């Protein structure tokens, strides 16, 4: 036998195996793709899916969330299906309680969500389920519950308000026709405060004379591009781009690289200068965790959770103040009653006494929740309390924005801004969290809720007392940009006018 045929015989099994493996992989991929397509029902011809696919809803509604609210209002169960997205959306408080508490284990964040945000958030609390989530949740609630970290947070906010925010607005009131983009200002403000709180670092974003810090820019890019992954028709699109390192995925990789670099530097510095006497979140976690990558993931999750949410809530509050000056006057009356005439910022005890302000803050987030909707993925087949069947792997979304607009939850005046609905004999009364899941609810309720409310109220007290802030141009309903948190498209231009403090 010739040496050539010998060689052929020797290599044949390997070649055959490669061919078989390759063929099997292709058939398997095609089969998975087919199953995926079949489950998505891309051809679904029901009214909702047709309107979604043709985007014909946009002829009647400003925002997708307004269209969903309209459909949910009409649905007898308060639940709808968008078959082409394999998404069940609910505004029914009983369903919300069921998925966030009663049958919590069946509704994790799930793989689709954690894959999309995985490169940015890694194993951070926002992006994990199971044991890793439990561990971080326990540790983070202990830290956030401590008095010293709460005082540190209030001091951080107070400094930023007094030293940067008030001077900036006071300067605007006398320059540039007194007009600025309030949303941009609040985004800068909340980035400064959450960075100081999380890392003990001051990026100085509110100094408008400076260009936005490279860290803030990279963080914004990374969050925006990660959210855009969710909008591609199939995850295969962005995964392929990531593999080839092209387009938006290349940019995302660069932005995440910068975020990682900054976080690593901060952790390194903190190890050198010591962390035991510091109160920022990073220092506190460093006393129990040694793994630097894990520390980075934990802190970046906090940055994402606490930054845009607060900015979004503050922006909508002033949009509503502009439309409801009579409510602003009632808030001012309360502040004048509780604070002394020359006081710029309130302390903990005073904030606690401000029932009307608290009611107004909750009411504004009822109409404009910073997180408009939130999805989970069902692990097993299930039936929701309203009788809706949920097939395993389905995305189930609860929709706080729509829930704030349901007559059967809030009554016939649900579209009106009425802080009084939160008061009983002048005292603020908390609503059922499953009716009002603005901070989520149940087992995984927001860990920064109290901190966020304190931060917001501190800012509002200082600004409402000192300035008249009015939206410029027509007061039409906001249009939102797509993303993880509600952001007004094009910003919120406002005119800043002085409001004199009596006795000053």
Q: Which residues sit at the interface with ligand HEM, rule CB under 6 A?
A: 125-126, 137, 140, 302, 305-306, 309-310, 313, 370-371, 374, 438-440, 444, 446-448, 451-452
Q: Distance between CA atoms of 333 and 318, rounded to whole angstroms?
A: 17
Say how far apart CA 472 and CA 495 lie, in whole Å: 6
Give the nearest distance from C-beta 213 to ligand HEM in angstroms: 20
- In three-state form (DSSP H/G/I as H, E/B as E, the rest C), the secondary structure along 76-107 is CCCEEEEHHHCEEEECCHHHHHHHHHHCHHHC
The alpha carbon dihedral of 240, 243, 249, 251 has a sign of: negative
Segment holding 496, helix H or strand E: strand 493-498
Identity of the residue, 385 or 442, whose beta carbon is nearer to ligand HEM in the bound complex: 442
CB of 59 to ligand HEM, least distance (A): 30
Rounded distance between C-alpha atoms, residue 331 and residue 325, angstroms: 10
Element spanning 423, H or E: strand 423-424
C-beta of 275 vs 373, nearer to ligand HEM: 373
What minimum distance in Å lies between the beta carbon of 142 and ligand HEM? 13
* Residue 446 is assigned to a ligand binding site: yes
CB nearer to ligand HEM: give 93 or 306. 306
Nearer to ligand HEM, 394 or 440 (CB): 440
Cβ count within 10 A of residue 327: 20
Tell me the CB-side half-sphere exposure of residue 228, using CA atoms within 13 A. Answer: 14
Nearest to 180 by CA among 478, 481, 467: 467
If the CB atoms of residues 256 and 459 are measured against ligand HEM, the closer one turns out to be 459
E strands, 207-263, where? none
Of the two residues 137 and 470, which places its CB atom closer to ligand HEM in the complex?
A: 137
Task: Tell me the C-alpha distance between 350 and 419, whole Å.
Answer: 19
CB of 127 to ligand HEM, least distance (A): 9
Q: What count of other Cβ atoms lies within 10 Å of the Cβ of residue 299?
A: 22
Residue 284 beta carbon to ligand HEM: minimum distance, rounded to whole angstroms: 12
Residue 387 gets which letter from DSSP?
S
Nearest residue (beta carbon) to ligand HEM: 448
Q: Which residues participate in the annotated binding site for heme?
A: 446
Q: Which residues participate in the annotated binding site?
A: 446
């Amino acid at each position: 036998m010739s040496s050539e045929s010998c060689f052929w015989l020797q290599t044949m099994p390997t070649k055959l195996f490669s061919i078989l493996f390759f063929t099997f992989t292709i058939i398997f991929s095609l089969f998975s793709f087919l199953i995926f397509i079949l489950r998505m029902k891309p051809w679904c011809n029901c009214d909702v899916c047709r309107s979604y696919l043709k985007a014909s809803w946009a002829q009647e509604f400003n925002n997708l969330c307004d269209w969903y609210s309209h459909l949910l209002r009409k649905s007898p169960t308060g639940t709808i299906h968008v078959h082409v997205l394999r998404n069940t959306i609910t505004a029914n408080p009983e369903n919300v309680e069921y998925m966030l508490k009663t049958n919590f284990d069946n509704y994790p964040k799930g793989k689709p969500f954690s894959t999309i945000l995985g490169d940015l958030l890694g194993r951070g609390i926002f992006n994990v389920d199971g044991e890793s989530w439990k561990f971080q949740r326990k540790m983070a609630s202990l830290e956030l519950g401590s008095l010293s970290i709460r005082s540190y947070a209030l001091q951080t906010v107070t400094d930023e308000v007094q030293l940067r925010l008030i001077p900036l607005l006071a300067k605007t009131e006398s320059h540039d026709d007194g007009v600025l983009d309030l949303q941009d200002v609040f985004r800068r403000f909340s980035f400064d405060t959450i960075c100081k709180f999380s890392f003990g670092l001051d990026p100085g974003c509110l100094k408008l004379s400076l260009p936005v810090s490279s860290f803030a820019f990279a963080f914004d890019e990374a969050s925006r591009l990660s959210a855009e992954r969710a909008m591609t028709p199939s995850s295969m699109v962005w995964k392929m781009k990531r593999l080839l390192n092209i387009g938006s995925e290349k940019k995302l990789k660069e932005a995440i690289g910068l975020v990682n670099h900054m976080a690593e530097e901060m952790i390194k510095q903190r190890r050198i200068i010591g962390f035991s006497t510091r109160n920022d979140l990073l220092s506190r976690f460093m006393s129990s965790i040694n793994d630097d990558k894990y520390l980075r993931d934990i802190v970046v999750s906090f940055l994402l959770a606490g930054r845009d949410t607060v900015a979004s809530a503050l922006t909508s509050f002033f949009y509503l103040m502009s439309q409801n000056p009579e409510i602003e006057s009632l808030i001012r009356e309360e502040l004048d009653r509780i604070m002394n005439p020359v006081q710029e910022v309130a302390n903990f005890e005073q904030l606690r006494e401000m029932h009307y302000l608290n009611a107004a803050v909750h009411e504004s987030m009822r109409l404009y929740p910073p997180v408009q909707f939130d999805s989970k993925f069902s692990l097993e087949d299930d039936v929701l309390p309203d009788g809706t069947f949920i097939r395993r792997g389905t995305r189930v979304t609860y929709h706080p924005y729509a829930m704030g607009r349901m007559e059967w939850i809030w009554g016939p005046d649900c579209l009106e801004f009425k802080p009084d609905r939160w008061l009983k004999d002048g005292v603020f009364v908390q609503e059922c969290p499953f009716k009002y899941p603005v901070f989520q609810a149940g087992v995984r309720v927001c860990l920064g809720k109290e901190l966020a409310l304190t931060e917001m109220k501190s800012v509002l007290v200082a600004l409402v007392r000192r300035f008249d802030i009015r939206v410029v141009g027509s007061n039409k309903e906001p249009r939102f940009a797509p993303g993880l948190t509600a952001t007004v498209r094009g910003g919120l231009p406002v005119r800043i006018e002085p409001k004199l403090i009596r006795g000053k």
